[in-house]
Every structure is written in structure tokens, then in C-alpha cells.
Chains A and B, each alone.
Chain A
Amino acid sequence: MTEVNRNDGILAWKGHPYVALACRLFIGGVFVAACIFKIKDPEVFVLSIATYDILPTSLLNLMAIILPWLELGVGILIIIGYKTKPSALLIALMMLVFMAALAIALARGIDMSCGCFASAEAGEQITRLTMLRDLCYLLPAIYVLIFDNNPIGIGSFHRAPREKGSI
């Protein structure tokens, strides 16, 4: 055990699961909140995606159908602590894609709402602060992905029998 701690260094710190729990509740809450309007009004959400003018027209609907449910799925999983790392990986990848889309829209000077939490009409206009906000969602996801090796939640109950069996 001592050997493992020496080798893992910062990864072995016992506080990681608690810090990660706070990160998980934060980003999980954000993702669950973000998917509500998209699931409720996919026909409005598809317009938000179309405004970015990045995806080909044929893929817009498919994206508007699948993305909100993916956000809901990973949001719930990361909150309850089941499959935490894969969920954090998907969240981090989604945030990178969202930030890239925002950067392209800002570079093109498109005056639009990001469509993250509300419809294009109700949402605030994208600015560099929107990028900063997305970075605040990306960093906790990366933290969970790297440091949350023993997540507090349903995953810990799931792991227990396997650990007993291995002894």
C-alpha cells in the first residue's frame, strides 16, 4: 500500500473523492439542467444548433435528438457516482466540442445565443465570458476523470463485492 502511495503521488491523496463529489454534483446538476429545455423543445433546440452553421444540415436533427439525452444520461450517472469516469470523459469531450463551436461562432462574429440552457430567443448573447463559463464546466470534469479513482456513490457499492472476492 505504501508502495502504491509513493508511486501514485498526488493521485493517492485521500481527499480526492470528496472534492470530486462536489465537482460531480456541480457538473451533473449543470448538465441535467441544460438538457431540460432541449428535451422539451427539440424543434427549438435544432434551430440553436443550426445557428452555429457548423454541422451539415442533414445531421442537425440527429444531433438535436441525441445530445439532450446524452447530457441527461451522463448528468445522472455522474451525480449518482456510477460509471463516473466514462461520464466525466463524455462531459469533457462535449465541453471541448461546445467550446470549439463557440470559438468558431465568436470568430465569425455571429450575434447569437449559445442555446445551452434556454432557447435562442431567451438566452444571453455569446461572449468570451461564455467560453470562460464553459471552461468552468470542463475543469471539474477533467478533475473527476483524473483523480476520482474511488468515487463516492452507487459505484462504491458496486465495487465492494469484487474487492471481497479478490481477497
Chain B
Amino acid sequence: MYSWRKIQELIYPTLRDALIILALCAVLACFVNLVRPDSLDWFAVCDYDILVPCPEPIGEATAMSVEDARRLTSDDLLIDARLSDEFSRWHAPDSINIVFDYLTPIPDEAIRKIAAMRAHRIIVAGDGQDPDSGEQLAKEISGRGIKNVHFIVGGMAHIKFANENHGDD
């Protein structure tokens, strides 16, 4: 076995040479950065804008027409994926608002709330645009373990239109 003295004799030159290599590489790097036309500032002064891919909805959700949505029962849960102010202006009776955010996953609390309601079917309606926030939210909810999730094609705009033309029956 090596004695402690011999270990020191082996380690110290290696550490010293490593520090010298580090210093020389740093000097070379700084020199190159100094002379290159597109040099970086030595110290960043503000945060970089980082683009991180959005979380992909991973579950399966079935498309549902507005006519099917008009036959909801009390065992079904209607989720409105639109923004809060749109929800407050108008929303379907007995619907709850879970705002879909393309960058932020649904909070665990919201998933627990959905699961606790023990609805027969989960029907999600969003802004009806392309991509539809309702469809995205439905797939994300399904991907988080909730079964029997559907989304309404056309979103809340179609439900509102159907309600206005057929009455709130």
C-alpha cells in the first residue's frame, strides 16, 4: 500500500498541473473571445430568454359534438378551459373553470379536485381555436390518469351558440 507521503507526492503534481492547464486554457479562451468579432460580453447583465418546449399532452381524449354535449347528465363534469375573464363573462351551467396554459402543467390540486368529483364522464371545452385549448387540456387530464375524458369540437363558442339557438334545455 502507498504511504500518505507517497500519495501526496502523486496527487500534488497532478493537481498543480491540472490548475496550470485550467489557467492556460482560460487565458487562451479569453484571448480568442477578445479578438473574435462576435465576442461574448464577459459577464451577462440580464437573463437569457430560454425557450423550453411546452409539455406535450400525452393522454387520449375522445372528440364530442355540441349535440352530444347538450345531453350531459348530472353524473358528467363539464370543464371550461378558457381564461378566467372569459369564464366570468359567460359559462355553461354547472361547469368549472380550469384554465389551460400551454407552458404550465395542470396543478396537482386541480387533478385531485377532478378525481374527487367522481364524474362518469369528463367533458372539456376550450376556446375552439386551432389548436383547441379544450382538446389540449382534455389530453393532459387523461394523461394524468383520469379516465373517460372527452372534448367538445368547437369549444365553448359552439356550446354558447347552440344554447342561444335552442334554449337552455
Contact = CB atoms under 8 A, between A and B. Distances in A.
A77 B55 CA distance: 42
A68 to B, nearest CB: 7
Interface in B1-58: 1, 14-18, 20-22, 24-26, 28-30, 32-33, 38, 40-48, 50, 52-53, 55
A106 interface: no
B40 A46 contact: yes
Interface string A57-95: 111111011101110111001000001011101100000
B21 A65 contact: no
A87 B15 CA distance: 10
A127 B15 CA distance: 33
A111 B21 contact: no
Q: Report the contact-size class of chain A (Cβ under 8 Å from the partner).
A: 35 or more
Interface string B95-115: 000000000000000000000
A42 to B, nearest CB: 5
Contacts of B26: 66, 69-70
Nearest to A83: B17
B52 A51 contact: yes
A50 B48 contact: yes
Interface residues of B, number: 31
Contact of B50 (A47, A83, A87): A47
Given A43-B40, A65-B29, A65-B30, A60 B48 contact: yes
Main SS at interface, chain A: helix
Contacts of A145: 14
A57 B46 contact: yes
B30 A66 contact: yes
A86 to B, nearest CB: 4
Contacts of B17: 83, 85-86
A110 interface: yes
A85 B20 CA distance: 13
A61 B28 contact: no
A154 interface: no
Interface string B47-90: 11010110100000000000000000000000000000000000
A114 B48 CA distance: 17
Given A42-B40, A70-B22, A77-B21, A65 B33 contact: yes
A7 interface: yes
Contacts of A85: 14, 17
B126 to A, nearest CB: 23
B22 A90 contact: yes
A59 B21 contact: no
A142 B1 CA distance: 19
Interface of A: 7, 39, 42-43, 46-47, 50-51, 53, 57-62, 64-66, 68-70, 72-74, 77, 83, 85-87, 89-90, 110-112, 145
28 contacts: A43-B40, A46-B40, A50-B50, A51-B50, A61-B40, A61-B43, A61-B44, A62-B43, A66-B26, A68-B29, A69-B25, A69-B26, A69-B28, A69-B29, A70-B21, A70-B29, A73-B28, A77-B21, A83-B21, A86-B14, A86-B15, A86-B16, A86-B17, A86-B18, A87-B18, A87-B21, A89-B15, A90-B18
